[in-house]
Structure 1
Amino acid sequence: MARDYYEALGVSRDATPEQIQQAFRTSARKYHPDVNKDPGAEDRFKEINEAYHVLTDPQTRKRYDRFGDDFRHVPEDWEEQARAGAGMGGRGGFRGAPGGGRVRYGTGGFGGGAGINIEDLFGDMFGGGDMFGGDGGFGRVPGADQEAELEMTVEEAYRGGKRQISLGDRNYTVSIPAGVVDGQRIRLAGEGSRGSGAGPPGDLYLVVRIKPDKRFRLEGRDIVADLPVSPWEAVLGASVAIRTPGGETKVKVPPGSSTGRRLRLRGQGMPNPKGKPGDLFAEIKIVVPRESTAAERELFEQLAAQSTFDPRRSR
C-alpha cells in the first residue's frame, strides 16, 4: 500500500487545489534532489510529485478518493460504465481483465500485473450481475488492458503533438496533449488484448515518463530553469535572455540579486488542458569568469578595496 497522498503532501482530504499546490511547492523546494543531497530526498520528492499529479487532476482525485490505492486499475470512464450497468438491470459489463487482472508491457515482453477484483469492486453498483452475461459462461470475455511506458523530453511534453511509436509488431500514431506530466496515462481505446468470443478488446495505456533534463527541472507543472548572470548584472540589474521549452524570452534581473533567487514568469510553465498552466521560474546563478584580463582584475581589486560588503555577515 502506497503512502496516502494527502498525508504525503501534509494536507487534509478536503484541501482546495490552491492549498495542494502551495503544499507541493513548499515540499518540492525542500526535497528536490538538485538542492537536497540527503539520502532518501529523491524518493521523497518522487512521492510528493506523484501525490501532486494525482490530487490536482479532478477526475483522478475522484477515483483516488473512491478506490484508494487501487485507483490506477479503474478505467477513467468507470462512472459511465457503472451507470450503463445499472441501466441494464444490474447486468452491465466492466471492461477489464477477468477477475480484475492486468497485463503490462515491459522491456522483456509481457508480464502479469496485480489488480483488483472487479466484481468485488463494482458488485454493489451492478447489483451483483455477472460480467459474462449472467449465465456463468465464458462466451463474452472482455480483453485485458495493457500498459507501456512512453519516454519524452520536457520540451516534447510541453509542445505535445503527433508521435509514431512501435510496440512489438504494432505501430501507432499517438496524439500527445500539450503539457503532459510524468505518470500521466494516454488511453488508446480498444488497442489492448483481444477479447474472447464477442467480448470487446481492452485498452492500451501509455504511461508518460519525462527524461531528466540538465536545462529544465519540473516541479509539478512548474518549470525551473537556471539563469546564469554575471556579477555586474546581479548587482546592477539587467534584462537577459533565457531559453524556455516554449522558446527564448527575456527576464528582468532586479538589482542586488543573489544566487538562488527565483524570478517567476507566470503561465509560462507546463500547459494544462484542464485548468491553469504552471509557472516558469528562472533561478539565478551568478557566474564569474574563469580567467580575467589585467584590466578586469584591476577593476575587481578596486571594488574589493572600496566595498564594505561582507557576504558572510549579511546572511
Structure 2
Amino acid sequence: MYSASCFLILLLLLGAVVSAADLYKTLELSRHASEQDIRKAYKRLSRKYHPDKNKDPGAEERFVEVAHAYEVLSDETKRQVYDRHGEEGLRAHEGGQQQHANPFDMFSSFFNGGFGGPQQARRGPTAVMDFEVSLADMYTGASIDFMMKKHVLCDHCRGSGAASDGDIQPCRGCGGSGVKISKQQIFPGMFAQTQSTCNDCGGRGTVIVKKCPHCGGEKVVEHTQHYTLEIEPGMPEGHEIVFDGEGDESPDWEAGDVVLRVRSKKEEGGWRRKESTLYWRETIAIDEALLGFKRNVTHLDGHVIELDRKGITQPGYVQTIEGEGMPIFGQSAHGNLYIEYNVVLPTELSSDMRRKLGEAFYESGHPGRDEL
C-alpha cells in the first residue's frame, strides 16, 4: 500500500506536527468527551481521511494525526497525563521516547480488517428514513439543518443505570455468575444438574440497588440532536446519505448509522423531474397559440428563460431547450428542459368577437357557412 520509507517519514513529521496540535481539536471534540465520543470520532475521521479512499492533498497526514490523537485519548493513563501536562508531559511520562503506533495497523485493528470487514463490537440497528427537500434545493444544492430525536447514554451514570458505582453490587441470587444451578434427584443417589439464566439479574451478574435519578435506571435518555444535511446539485432521487454512528446509543452496543434517502417533494403542477430531465407545462391563450408570443419562465435557481414562439403552437406541443434541465450529478453538464404547451379556450364570446372570428375564418357572407 505504501512504502516503509514513506511511512517512516510520516512518523518523523508526526512528532513535530502533533506537538503543536490540540489532540481534542484533531478529533473535533471537547475536553469533556466520553470514551464513546472519542471512539466515534476516530471511526468517522479515520474513514474520511484514509489514503485508500481520500486522495486529496494532506489527507494522509490528517489520517496519521487522527490516529495519534486516538492513541493518546483512548488510553485513560495517557489522557490524564496529556490533560495535565500536554505533549511535553506525555513525552516525559514515556521517558522521552514517545512511541507512535502504526496508524494503518491501528485502523485495521479497530475495524477488524479494514473497509467492509466485520466490526469487533456489536453494532446497533441502522435507521433508514426518507427525507424530502424542495426540487429547487436539489437543483442548486443546499445545506439543510434539521433536528432528530435519539437515545443517548445518560450523562449522569454513563450507561450503568446506577446512581453511583457503589450502587452496582454482585447479584445474591447467582453469586455474580449470571446463572443459577439447580439439582433434581432422578433416582436415589442420582441427581441431574440444570443451569438457567438468573432471573434476579437477567444474567448480568450484578444488580442495581439505587437507580440513577437522571434516567431512572434506563441507562439512556432521549436527546434532540442537530444535524446538517448537505445536498449536492443534481443529487439523484433516493440518494442515500449516511450519518455514521448517529443511531440510538446503548451500553450494550456501538451505535448504528442513520441513513437518509433524499427525495424531492411532490408538488402539484410546476416543475417535474425525471433523472436529469426537467418538465414544465406552460398555459397559453388561443390568440397566443395562433399568433405567437413571448413569455418568461423563472427557473428553479431564479434565472429567466425566454419563450419566443412565432406562428402556430399546437395544443400538447413539446419544445426542447437543451442544457436547461437538472445538473448531472457529479458533472458540470445539465440535462434538457421540455416545455409542454396547454392551449386554453375562452369560456364565452361576445357578439363582436364572434363576428370578427367569423370574418377571419370564413370570410363574411361565404356561402354554406353559418354564422358562429
Specify which structure has the bigger relative contact order, considering alpha-carbon pairs within 8 angstroms and separated by 6 or more residues.
2
TM-score of the superposed pair, with normalisation by structure 2? 0.43
Q: Which protein is bigger by CA-based radius of gyration? A: 2
